[in-house]
Amino acid sequence: DIVMTQSPDSLAVSLGERATINCKSSQSVLYSSNNKNYLAWYQQKPGQPPKLLIYWASTRESGVPDRFSGSGSGTDFTLTISSLQAEDVAVYYCQQYYTGRVTFGPGTKVDIK
């Protein structure tokens, strides 16, 4: 199975400041035939199910604020929250779906400083 790692485990950012979360896969999740990275980002708030934020590594899900952006290719990816808002406090997970046996990263907790 593809192993996903995330860094940092947690971070605290001031309101309005940038938050950056990194995700690394143990093998490339870039499918050469369509040049797509099979990588998604989810946000999970306490007591709620995960919510899809980003798919194909950089495509924002409908309704997701544009302060959320995804980047990267191959094995290294980044989720950026350009200006942290109070409602962004959550745990963020990356997920690879390159293989049918999808795997998630361990999560990064984002708090307000």
Partner 1 sequence: EVQLVESGGGLVQPGGSLRLSCAASGFTVSSNYMSWVRQAPGKGLEWVSVIYSGGSTYYADSVKGRFTISRHNSKNTLYLQMNSLRAEDTAVYYCARDDYGDKGAFDIWGQGTMVTVSS
Nearer to partner 1, 16 or 46 (CB): 46
First to last CA, the chain: 36
With the CA atoms of 1, 43, 66 and 26 taken in that order, what torsion angle do they form, in degrees rounded to the nearest 10? Answer: -20
Nearer to partner 1, 101 or 113 (CB): 101
Retrieve residue 46's tokens: 């306490």
Nearer to partner 1, 16 or 62 (CB): 62
Secondary structure E strands in the chain: 4-7, 10-13, 19-25, 30-31, 36-37, 39-44, 51-55, 59-60, 68-73, 76-81, 90-96, 103-104, 108-112
Nearer to partner 1, 42 or 77 (CB): 42
CB of 109 to partner 1, least distance (A): 11
CB of 49 to partner 1, least distance (A): 4
Q: Which residues bind partner 1 (CB under 8 A)?
A: 36, 38, 40, 42, 44, 48-52, 55-56, 59, 61, 93, 95, 97, 100-107
CB of 96 to partner 1, least distance (A): 10
